[in-house]
Amino acid sequence: MVDYSVNGSVAVLMVNNPPVNALGHAVRVGLKTGIERGAKDSRVRSIIIIGKGQTFPAGADIREFGKPSKEPWLTAVGNLIKTCSKPVVAAIHGTCLGGGLEIALFSHYRIAVSSARVGFPEVTLGLLPGAGGSQRLSRLTGLPVAMEMISSGRHVPARKAKEYGIIDEIVSGDLLKTALKFAQEVQSRPFKDRCLRYKVVPNADRVEEYASAALTQVKKKYKGFEAPVACVQAVRSSAELSYEEGMKRERDLFLQLGQSGQAKAQQYAFFAERAVTKWQMPGGSYKTAKPLPVRSTAVIGAGTMGSGIAVCLLSAGLPVYLLEQNEKFLQSGVKLIESIMAGSVKLGKVSMETAKRAATLLKPTLSYDDIKDVDLVIEAVFENLDIKKEVFSKLDKICKPSAILCTNTSTIDINRISSATSRPEKVVGTHFFAPAYHMKLLENIYGTKTSPEAVATVMKLGKTINKVPVLVKSCHGFLANRMNAPFSSEAIFLVEEGASPQEVDQVNEDFGMPMGPFKVRDLSGIDISWRINREVAKVLGTSITKETRFLGGNRYCGLNDDFYDKGRYGRKTGKGWYLYEKVGGKTAVADPEAEEIINSYRQSRGIVKRKITPQEIFERQFYSAINEGFRILEEGICNMPEEIDISWIYGFSYPKYRGGPMFYASQIGLQRVYDRICHYHETCPYSIHWVPNRLLKKLAENNVPFTQWANHVSKSKM
C-alpha cells in the first residue's frame, strides 16, 4: 500500500491504493512504517510522500467510518511526520483532500502541479477535519479563508492554494523528478520552524468578527446542516485556544458530528451518488454498453424547459440548434437563454468566457433541415402525446440514422412516443427538472425497445453537462413524478380536511425541504396544475366539474381549481395560495382571501374542518411517497433504493442530511412505517397510494437491512 524506496539521499513513500489512494488502515500503517524507516535509514536526508496513479491521497477511507477504528490513527501518523528528524515533502497531484491534506499540512513542505486541487471536503460528509486540519489551516491562510474552505468543502486549485499559502511551490514536468530535486535542496535548510503548530494564527484578535460573519453565512447557505457550523467553531478555537486545547476541541466536535444521524446520511448519499452510475437494463449495463459520441445537439422547443436545457448543453461547450415553430417563440427563447447566462455570470456560476463561447455555439433555427446531422436531439415541447408524436415522426424522417432522439417528458411512457418512429431503439427519455439549468437530477428513461447504447449515451451526456443521471424504466410518471404524486396530493387533501397551506409548508420546511408544497405550487403555477389535471381527465375520457370528488377512481380535490377560477395562478399573478409583494414577487405571506376560498370550498362540500397535527401532515406526505417508492422498486422501475434517494435529493432538493426518503424509512424502521401506512389506508380510503405495498410488508416483517433491499427488487428488467 505504501512502497518505500531510496533515490540518492531521498526516501520516497509512494502511496499505492487505487483508485484514490484513500488513507485506509493499511496505508496508515505503511506511512507510519515508511516514516520510521526513513528516519532511521542512514542514506536518507529527506523524505517525499507522493501518490501513485491519478492522485495524492484524496482522504480517509470513508468505508471505514462507523466501524471500530484501527490504530494508527491519522493524527498519530501526522505527528510522526511533524516530529521527524528529516524534512518531509508532500508532492501533490490530482486531489489532495481531507486526510490527504492533513498529511500534507503535517509535512514540512508542499509542492504541487498546477492541475492539483486541495481541500477539506469532510463537511460534505457531515464531518470536519479530524486530524488537526482546522487548527493548522488557519495558521497558514488566516481565519476567513480557513473558515470558508472548511465549512464549504470547496476544492481549491493549486494556484489559488499557493496564494493562500497552502502550497509552497507550483512545479511542472515529472512530479517525482521535481520532488526529488526539491527534497535534496531542502536538506541543508533548517526546517523545524516549518512545523505549523508553532505558527501564530494571523489576526487572531479579530476572531469574533470573522466567526460571526462566517456563522451568518453558513446558517443561510447550509440551512439545517450541523457540520458547517461546527467547522466554523473548530477553526475559531485555533485562534482562541492553545494548539493542544484546539486539537482537543476539534476532536470533540469531530466525534460529536460522527455520531450524528446527519453524518451517517451524508456518507450514505456520497456512496449512493456513485452507486447510481452503475446502471443496468435488459441487455446491457454501464460495463457493456458504449456511449456514442455527442459533438452536436438540437433542442426542439424554446420554452422555459427547452431554453434551460439549451443552457446546460451550451455551458458544457456543446453546439446547440434551438428549433421553434415561429420567429416570435424562437426570439423569446434566445432572450431567455441570454438572460439565464447573464444571471449565471453575475452569480459567479459561469465564467464570462463560457458565456461568450455559449453565445457562439447557439444556433437558433426554424428549419428541421438544419438539424439533420446532429448527434443528439432533445425534444422539449408541450407535455402532450399527440404533439410529441408529431415531433418524433418529423425527427425520424430528418435525422441521421445514428442520432439519439431524446424526449424531455415528465410523465408520458417512452414507448408511446417512440412508436411514432421507425427507430425506437434510438429513443430515450431525458427528464430535466425545473429550472433545468439549476437542478442537478437528470432522470433518464428507457422504453422496451431503447438500446443500451442510447442509454449509455444519455448517461454520459448527464455527466458531461454536470448533472446526476439516474436510469429508470418507463412507466407513467417514471420515478420522481410517481412518488411526487401522492406527496403533493396529500398536501392538498390535508388542507381540504382542515390544515392551512402555511401549516403544511411549515412541516416540510422544518424537515429540511427548501420550500413547502404550496410555495412550490405558487412557483410552478396553479394554471399549470389546472391544465395537467384536465389532460389527465381527457386521457381518462372524463371531465372535471365542481362536483368532481374522484378522478380515475382516486380521491380528487378541486381546491386548486377554485384558486385557478379566481385568477390566482401563484407568483406570476402576485397571488395564489399566498399573497406576494408584487406580480412575480418572491415573499409569500398568508392571505385572508385565500383562507376564504378554502373555507367556502369546505362549506360547499359539507367538510367540517378538523385540527391536523404536524405528525399527521408529515406522515401523510412522506409515508405515502415512501409506499409508492417501494411499489416502484417492486415493479423494477429502478434497481436500488439509492436511485430513489438520489432522485429526491437532486430533483426535489430533499435534505441530503436525511439521506433520502428510502434511507429515512430505514432509519425510522420499516415496521413502523408500514404500520402507519396501514393506519392511513384505514383512515384515508379512496386513495390507491395508501394500499400498503407488499415489498415493504415483506422487508418489514423479515427485518431486512437496508443494504439487502436491492436483492428483493424485481429482476424482470435484467
Ligand X SMILES: CCCCCCC/C=C/C(=O)SCCNC(=O)CCNC(=O)[C@H](O)C(C)(C)COP(=O)(O)OP(=O)(O)OC[C@H]1O[C@@H](n2cnc3c(N)ncnc32)[C@H](O)[C@@H]1OP(=O)(O)O
Query: Binding of ligand X at residue 63 (CB under 6 A)?
Result: yes
Q: What are phi and psi of 17, to 5 degrees?
A: -140, 75
Query: Binding of ligand X at residue 443 (CB under 6 A)?
Result: no
**Among 75, 152, 344, 488, which residue sits at the site for ligand X (rule: CB under 6 A)?**
75
Q: What are phi and psi of 324, to 5 degrees?
A: -135, 170
Residue 258 Cβ, how far from ligand X at the closest point, in Å? 8
Contact region with ligand X (CB under 6 A), list: 95-103, 506-514, 602-610, 627-635:
95-103
Residue 515 Cβ, how far from ligand X at the closest point, in Å? 28
Q: What are phi and psi of 166, to 5 degrees?
A: -80, -40
In the region spanning residues 160 to 179, those forming contacts with ligand X, defined by CB under 6 A, are none
Query: Binding of ligand X at residue 274 (CB under 6 A)?
Result: yes
Smallest CA-to-CA distance from 298 within 286, 309, 290 is with 309
Nearer Cβ to ligand X, position 149 or 673? Answer: 149
Query: Binding of ligand X at residue 250 (CB under 6 A)?
Result: no
Residue 263 Cβ, how far from ligand X at the closest point, in Å? 10
Kindly name the residue from 36, 64, 102, 619 that is annotated as catalytic.
102
Query: Binding of ligand X at residue 58 (CB under 6 A)?
Result: yes
Nearer Cβ to ligand X, position 22 or 483? Answer: 22
Residue 428 Cβ, how far from ligand X at the closest point, in Å? 23
* Count of residues of this chain found to bind ligand X when the rule CB under 6 A is applied: 26
20-53 core/surface letters (b: 16 or more CB in 10 A; e: else): bbbbbbebbbbbbebbeebbeeeebbbbbbbbbe
Nearer Cβ to ligand X, position 122 or 628? Answer: 122
For residue 15, what is the DSSP state? E
Smallest CA-to-CA distance from 142 within 226, 217, 214 is with 214
Residue 581 Cβ, how far from ligand X at the closest point, in Å? 41
Round to whole Å and give the CA distance between 118 and 145: 13
Nearer Cβ to ligand X, position 96 or 140? Answer: 96
In the region spanning residues 4 to 23, those forming contacts with ligand X, defined by CB under 6 A, are 19-20, 22
**Among 11, 62, 292, 492, which residue sits at the site for ligand X (rule: CB under 6 A)?**
62
Nearer Cβ to ligand X, position 269 or 391? Answer: 269
Nearer Cβ to ligand X, position 277 or 524? Answer: 277
Query: Binding of ligand X at residue 51 (CB under 6 A)?
Result: no
Query: Binding of ligand X at residue 251 (CB under 6 A)?
Result: yes
Nearer Cβ to ligand X, position 396 or 642? Answer: 642
Nearer Cβ to ligand X, position 103 or 597? Answer: 103
**Among 1, 25, 53, 73, which residue sits at the site for ligand X (rule: CB under 6 A)?**
73
Contact region with ligand X (CB under 6 A), list: 52-60, 314-322, 464-472, 494-502:
52-60
Query: Binding of ligand X at residue 97 (CB under 6 A)?
Result: yes
Residue 114 Cβ, how far from ligand X at the closest point, in Å? 17
Nearer Cβ to ligand X, position 198 or 271? Answer: 271
Q: Which residues pair with 323 in a beta bridge?
A: 300, 365
Round to whole Å and give the CA distance between 49 and 108: 11
Contact region with ligand X (CB under 6 A), list: 71-79, 496-504, 573-581, 598-606:
71-79
Half-sphere exposure of 135 (CA within 13 A, CB side): 24
**Sign of the C-alpha dihedral, residues 317, 323, 327, 328?**
negative
Annotated active-site residue 353? The verdict is: no
Dig out the grid coordinates for 559 from the structure.
Answer: 381546491
Residue 665 Cβ, how far from ligand X at the closest point, in Å? 23
Residue pair 324/312 in contact (Cβ under 8 Å)? The answer is no
Query: Binding of ligand X at residue 527 (CB under 6 A)?
Result: no
User: What 3-state class would DSSP assign to 385?
Assistant: helix
Kindly name the residue from 122, 226, 324, 628 that is annotated as catalytic.
122
Residue 107 Cβ, how far from ligand X at the closest point, in Å? 16
| Residue the block writes with cell 447550509 | 222
Contact region with ligand X (CB under 6 A), list: 91-99, 219-227, 286-294, 545-553:
91-99
**Among 30, 51, 98, 306, which residue sits at the site for ligand X (rule: CB under 6 A)?**
98
Query: Binding of ligand X at residue 95 (CB under 6 A)?
Result: yes
Query: Binding of ligand X at residue 358 (CB under 6 A)?
Result: no
Residue 257 Cβ, how far from ligand X at the closest point, in Å? 11
Residue 651 Cβ, how far from ligand X at the closest point, in Å? 20
What is each CA distance from 520 to 135, 258, 515, 586, 707, in whole angstroms? 42, 34, 6, 11, 33
Round to whole Å and give the CA distance between 510 and 160: 38
In the region spanning residues 100 to 139, those forming contacts with ligand X, defined by CB under 6 A, are 121-122, 125, 129-131
User: What 3-state class would DSSP assign to 475?
Assistant: coil
Nearer Cβ to ligand X, position 125 or 632? Answer: 125
Residue 569 Cβ, how far from ligand X at the closest point, in Å? 42
What residues have CB less than 8 Å from 531, skipping those under 6 apart?
Answer: none
Residue pair 568/594 in contact (Cβ under 8 Å)? The answer is yes
Residue pair 296/375 in contact (Cβ under 8 Å)? The answer is yes
Round to whole Å and give the CA distance between 363 and 360: 8
Round to whole Å and give the CA distance between 124 and 130: 14
Query: Binding of ligand X at residue 60 (CB under 6 A)?
Result: yes
CB atoms within 10 A of CB 517: 24
C-alpha 128: how far from chain center:
20
**Among 74, 316, 350, 417, which residue sits at the site for ligand X (rule: CB under 6 A)?**
74
Residue pair 234/153 in contact (Cβ under 8 Å)? The answer is no
Residue 125 Cβ, how far from ligand X at the closest point, in Å? 6
Nearer Cβ to ligand X, position 94 or 629? Answer: 94
Smallest CA-to-CA distance from 282 within 490, 150, 455 is with 455
Query: Binding of ligand X at residue 266 (CB under 6 A)?
Result: no
Query: Binding of ligand X at residue 59 (CB under 6 A)?
Result: yes
Dig out the grid coordinates for 217 from the structure.
Answer: 453565512
Nearer Cβ to ligand X, position 222 or 487? Answer: 222
Round to whole Å and give the CA distance between 32 and 13: 10
Half-sphere exposure of 182 (CA within 13 A, CB side): 27
Smallest CA-to-CA distance from 97 within 51, 64, 139 is with 51
Would you list the DSSP string of 294-344?
---EEEE--SHHHHHHHHHHHHTT--EEEE-SSHHHHHHHHHHHHHHHHHH
User: What 3-state class would DSSP assign to 567?
Assistant: coil
Annotated active-site residue 122? The verdict is: yes
**Which sequence positions are flagged as catalytic?**
102, 122
Residues that bind ligand X (CB under 6 A): 19-20, 22, 58-63, 73-75, 95, 97-99, 121-122, 125, 129-131, 251, 254, 271, 274
